[in-house]
């Protein structure tokens, strides 16, 4: 079985294990043969494992850079903080263009 996209791998594994547990519970009450979870295997490619690891690392990172926040706060207190409207506008336009490309 081929699975595109690593986002659903954990959901698929969880669903598989939950289904096996349900079947085993039914087997215990009906004296049926339980399902051996070891017979079915799901192999994740090294690239997918690396992608999972990278996503976990990114999730751990903070969106806030404390050293930059402190520096800006200090500049504001001292009255030295300069708002560069052109730089902000360019960043907004770039972000909008990136969002349009993703669609």
Domain ranges of the chain: 1-61, 64-103
Phi-psi map region of 5: left, alpha, beta (phi>0 left; psi -120 to 50 alpha)? left
Instruction: Give the pLDDT mean for 95-102.
Output: 88
Q: Is pLDDT of 56 > 60?
A: yes
Put simply, whether the predicted model's pTM sits higher than 0.95 gets the answer no
The answer to whether residue 38 scores a pLDDT higher than 60 is no
Long-range contacts of residues 7-15, Cβ cutoff 8 Å, at least 24 apart = 9/42, 9/44, 9/48, 9/52, 12/42, 13/42
d(CA 101, CA 103): 5
């Amino acid at each position: 079985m081929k699975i595109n996209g690593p986002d659903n791998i954990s959901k698929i594994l969880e669903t598989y294990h939950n289904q096996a547990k349900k079947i085993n519970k039914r087997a215990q009450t009906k004296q049926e043969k339980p399902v051996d979870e070891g017979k079915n295997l799901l192999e994740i490619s090294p690239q997918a494992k690396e992608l999972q690891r990278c996503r976990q690392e990114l999730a751990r990172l903070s969106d806030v850079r404390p050293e930059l926040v402190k520096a800006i706060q200090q500049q504001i207190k001292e009255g030295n903080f300069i708002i560069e409207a052109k730089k902000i506008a360019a960043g907004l336009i770039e972000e909008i263009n990136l969002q349009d490309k993703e669609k």
